Amino acid sequence: MDKTYQFDISKEYLLNKLNFIQMELIKKNFSNSPDIRFDEEKNIFYLGNKEQLRYLHLRDSLNRLDTLAILIDVDKISNLDTINLKNSFMEIQITGDSYNSEIKLIGLYKAVNRFSDKDFKNKAIKEFEKRVIKKIHY
């Protein structure tokens, strides 16, 4: 994909916004799903069929679950850190400091059906910009 978005906000503020956006997407799309699991140690939301996984411990079932959101603890991040974030929708790289930040789009997943249209890549990018980038600016 190799698309980059620059912001005149700190990396800490950007990460807080991304955490909020991810939580908003979970609430909007999965609020009634009984199949959401949360790993408190890693701050990760997963989606998986609980009937199939009910007898497994969370740690044993993680490789069978879809990662919905990874909440980043901004208190554990420094300005020198590069954050790689990958969930079921996107893979991005976040860099920045106290004044500016940047998101590099690495990949998108499940945004559009690849075989439904010839222009699936641009549609996927537009969906990412609508769901994530535009919400950071507001």
CA distances from 70 to 9, 40, 87, 112 (A): 21, 11, 7, 22
Q: How confident is the model at residue 110 (pLDDT cuts 50, 70, 90)?
A: low
- Mean pLDDT value across the chain: 83
**How do residues 8-62 score in pLDDT, each as one tens digit?**
999 999 999 999 999 998 888 887 878 888 888 889 888 876 555 555 555 544 4
Rounded Cα–Cα distance for residues 10 and 15 (Å): 9
